[in-house]
Structures are given as C-alpha cells and as structure tokens.
Amino acid sequence: MSLATIIYAGMRQYERPSLALVLMGGGARTAYQVGVLRAVAGMLQSQPGAARSFPFQILVGSSAGAINATFLAGRALDGLHAFAQLAEFWGRLRSTDVYQLNLPHWLRFSRVALVLGLSRHLQVNGALLDSTPLAALLREGIAFNGIDDALRARRIDALAVTGSSYNTGVHWTFCHTASRDAFQPWSHPGRRAEFQPLTVDHLLASSAIPFLFPATTLRVDGREEHFGDGAMRQITPLSPAMHLGARKILVIGVGEPEQPALAIDPLSTPTRGPTLGSMAGHVMASVFHDTLQADVEQTRRVTETIHSLPPEAVAAMRYQAIEVLAMEPSQSLDALAQRYTTELPVPIREALGALGMLKGSGGTLASYLLFEPGFVHSLISLGESDAAAREAELLALLAGE
C-alpha cells in the first residue's frame, strides 16, 4: 500500500469513526472467518450494557471472503444475530451446493479416459468445475435488498468486493455505498475502484478461482471484461477500507502459519521432484498469496514514524493512527484439510486423484474445495478458539476497552 494512502487516511476528518471488517479469500478455508466472527459476536453480547447493533460500518471482501462480507451486509439490520446466521449458512453447505463436475459417468471407469476427458473439458470450458450451483446458492442465501436497507438506515456505510480483470490485469474494487454522487473513486497503477451496486455476478467473479471456476463477465469503464478471483494481484488488501474511511480495521486472513517444514513435500526427492499435488498446492498458495502482514506492518511503521516527529509537527498534521488487528489461523489449514479429503464428492476426488493432485501436499488444493461438514466445522471451531485467545485485543478494538 502506498504511503500516501495511509497518511491521507489518517489525516482525513469524518463525521463518525468507522470500523471496517476485511475478509481475505480462500475458498472453503474462509469458514475460519465464520468462527472468528461468531466468537466476536459472543464477546460483544457479554459486555455489560453493550449495544446489540451490527459493529462494522465498512465491509470489504475478496474471493469467498467477499461472499461472507456480502452476506453480513445484507443482514446488518439484524445486529449481532447476523453472525449466527452466517454460521447457519455455512453449516448447511455441501460441496455440491457450490460446484459440480460435468463429465460423462463412464469416464470414471478408465483413468486414461478420465484424464483425457478432463483435459478436453478444461480446453472447452476454461475451468474444471461448473459454478452454476453457487449462483443459485447466492441468489437464495444472500439478502441483496438488505444491503440497500442497511445503507439507507446508516447501519453500514459501504460494502466493497474485489475482482481481477483477465482482459487488462487491473485489480478492481466494486463499491456499494448509499450514494453514487458521494462516492469518491480511486485509481492507482493496476488498481481501480468504481461505484456499482453488488450482484450475484460480482460475487461469482470475485470467487472464480483460476482453472477451477469459470470467469464472469462484468461491465467496467463502459465495456465488458472477464473477471476472475479477487485474490489475484491483491497487493494491498487494506487499501479499500482506508479509502472508504476506516479508522479501525479487523482483518481476517486464512493463510498458513509460518512453518517452513510444511512446505516440504514428503513424497518429493531430489531425483523425483515435487508431485502434482505439491505443485498444485504451490500454485494455489501463489494465487492467494497473503500480502496481509506486509500491509499491516507498513501501516504500523507509518504511525511510528509520524509519532517520532517533534510534537509540534504531529499536532499540525492532525494525524490519527489507523488501528489494525489481523487474525490468521494458528494451525495449518492444509494439514487440517488432509484429514477430510475423503469427504470430497466422489467425482471430484476421482478427478483430482487421476491428475495426481491429492498426493503429497494435496491437502492444500483440497482445502479450497472442501465445503463439507467435517472440514467446515473444524475451521469454525479453530476460528472461535483463536478469537478467544485474543479476546482482550478484539474487545480493545471493537468495544474500545
């Protein structure tokens, strides 16, 4: 993120301080965010005399994180109950509600035929999976009308969803605010923002993992472009929240803890090299490359630098630090997913197995596709546990204690 964005955000004066929720992408892994948020709701409810209103004024999401953010925005008028509703939404999910593999059944009886069929399918459709079930799920499960209701009631100020254009390479942020006229777009090299009321297509575009899900067409700058996952080219995940007026930010990522040993493929040798599963996991990790900590660290460094200036200079700048709290899993989600790969739908498991993508570090790829109860509930429990361990920090940010 540019220094100008951080400094300008800290010097702007707002009618009311805004608390932002930023949800990073990661397919099924984003169930972790549900656990953190459900725990947060419980913390806020337990505070003596605490309000039960929805705590976030700005919501920003990318990939599956965009789905979570939009779900919450549509139910912001329900207050803290919105987080319980999000948990119920995830609790009912199955992989078949999100995607399907459209291949003739007879291909499953021949590994060679299956591999050839998958290759042909990718060439024709540009993606391995069909996201039609996801479109139906979003239309039924997300209260898009509730977003406008929450904006008009000033329960929230903005909802922003990101996508990456395959046509131009530009990383776009689509912002849904109460007024088009009051919205101030931004444009930086490779990053742009535009006012657009959000729809199912925006969420399909933002969550279209390359090679797995098909691109979605959106209209920008008066022309149609094909969009894929919002995590691609996402180099400044906190920037949209700051542009939209955040004074405090809770950001929840779903990346891997820093454990170098996990990067070693146990089935890889100097002569054999990495397995396809290991390479697929590496590619997915690159697509969802987590720049979160770099953004957080830069925001803190700017604050420390400004506060080290002479008091007269600090007073003249009227700079207020942007408070950021970043939550990420304390355990490896790749290793956790490895325990539940048998829960994948049989056609998906056979297809990935035929391609050799479940060997070695195959848990990495599976972790993005495992919308199944075992994995989802484990992620939610981990999110709740991690949030409980940082309760004091969370309450200090959210409740000002």
Beta carbons of 341 and 376 less than 8 angstroms apart = no
Q: Is 207 a catalytic residue?
A: no
Q: Catalytic residue at 187? A: no
Q: What phi and psi, each to the nearest 5 degrees, are found at residue 314?
A: -65, -40
- Of 62, 63, 95, 207, the catalytic one is 63
Using DSSP's 3-state secondary structure scheme, residue 355 falls into coil
Rounded CA gap, 250 and 73, in Å? 15
Cα–Cα distance measured from residue 379 to residue 32, given in angstroms and rounded to the nearest whole number? 5
- Angle between the N-to-C axes of helices 31-45 and 391-398, in degrees from 0 to 180, rounded to the nearest 10: 70
Rounded CA separation 388/391 (Å): 5
- Amino acid at the residue 322: I
Residue type at 16 in one-letter notation: R
Residues 6 or more apart in contact with residue 111 via CB below 8 angstroms: 354
Which of 157, 229, 265, 386 is the catalytic position? 229
Q: How many CB atoms lie within 10 A of CB 297?
A: 12
Residue 391 vs residues 46, 69, 117, 335, 398: alpha-carbon distances, Å = 12, 22, 50, 26, 10
Indicate the helix (H) or strand (E) that contains 45: helix 31-45
Active-site residues, by number, are 63, 229
